[in-house]
Structure 1
Amino acid sequence: MTLIATFWGTLLDILPIAAIIFGFQYLVIRRPVKRLSQVLTGFSWYGLGSHFSWLVWNKRCFPWVS
C-alpha cells in the first residue's frame, strides 16, 4: 500500500469521530465551534500522528509484510 493510500484510509477512520464531535456541538449544544482553525489543526496533527504510528507498528510487528 502506498503512503498516500494509507493516509487516506487513516483520514476515513477519523471522519466518524469528527462527525460525532461536530454533530454534537451543532445539534445538541447549538453553538458554533470556538477557534475552529485550532480544532481543525488538532485533527490534522492527530491524523498525521496516528498514520505514522500505524506505519511504524506495521513495520515492527509484521516485518515480512511489505
Structure 2
Amino acid sequence: VLFGDKFAGRIDAKADRKTGEFRIINEFWESDFEINGKFLSKYKNKLSDLAQFAGCKSVKMR
C-alpha cells in the first residue's frame, strides 16, 4: 500500500469471484505510518477500485 510517496503497508487479499467478494484477510502497517481520516477515505475508495478490477462487486474486511 502506497500513500503519496510513502510505503504505508501491505495487505493480504483474495478475490472470490463465486461470491463476488474481494476479501481483505489481513493488513500489515508500517510502524512509522500514521493512519488518519484522509488515508482511510482514499484507502477504501482504492480497495473498491481494486475489487472491481479483480471482477468483484464488494469488499469484505476481516
Band of TM-score, shorter chain: 0.3 to 0.5
The TM-score, its normalising length taken from structure 1, stands at 0.44
**When you count helix as a share of all residues, which structure comes out higher?**
1
The TM-score, its normalising length taken from structure 2, stands at 0.46
Return the index of the structure with the highest Cα Rg. 1
**When you count strand as a share of all residues, which structure comes out higher?**
2
